[in-house]
A and B are shown apart, each in its own frame.
Chain A
């Protein structure tokens, strides 16, 4: 596997379910990100982890719970979601604290989440 991988690629869940999204990067990066992509809206940054420490929580509801056990893996735990949470969830990684101009973020293919 190369780059940034995400599983599952598609997920359908009910509002009372608990599920987790997984992201793995094989690039030796030490910063990882969760974004939410909804139709006709800009990508919304949700969480940022640098060296396994959460450095950004962009006012995300507590029904989304991130976990970063190491620099290569990032999870997003989901529980009691709402239909408006249906979206494409993208994971990205980069080199933490590097010059932003060259701190290219590498994205995964995303998980298409549908909440019924």
Chain B
């Protein structure tokens, strides 16, 4: 079974600064996807960014980018030019593309609470 670990329960950053959230995962599969989801205080979780395991290029979405290290099974999220609206809980998630009963299911990490200071 796959596991996802977020070792930072809480992080903080000054507005306009850059912060990196860490995520590691464990899997024996070679074909999978990784995601970062954001859950603001209002609780509606939204997708921030996705990464396909067979793509070496790191995904980027505006101020959000990832550092995907497949051999190290590491998937960190970098938020540049942090804004007050970035304050939320961030979840790293894994999805298998290998077929079978795990196909398409999301396995989440414990989450990291990000605080943005003005």
Contact = CB atoms under 8 A, between A and B. Distances in A.
Interface of A: 3, 31, 40-43, 45, 48, 56, 88, 90, 92, 94, 96-105, 107-110
Provide the main secondary structure of the chain A interface: loop
Given A45-B106, A109-B44, 6 more contacts: A42-B4, A43-B108, A92-B45, A100-B95, A103-B104, A107-B45
Nearest to A55: B101
Interface core residue of B42, B43, B50 (most chain A CB under 10 Å): B43
A42 B43 contact: no
Interface core residue of A43, A101, A103, A109 (most chain B CB under 10 Å): A101
Contacts of A110: 43-44
Nearest to A4: B44
Which range contains the number of B residues in contact with the other chain? 20 to 34
Nearest to B34: A101
A43 B33 CA distance: 17
A28 B48 CA distance: 21
B37 to A, nearest CB: 8
Q: Nearest 4 pairs between A and B by C-beta?
A: A107-B45, A43-B108, A100-B95, A101-B33
Contacts of B37: 107
Contacts of A31: 104
A108 B44 contact: yes
A45 B96 CA distance: 15
Given A42-B111, A100-B96, A109 B104 contact: no
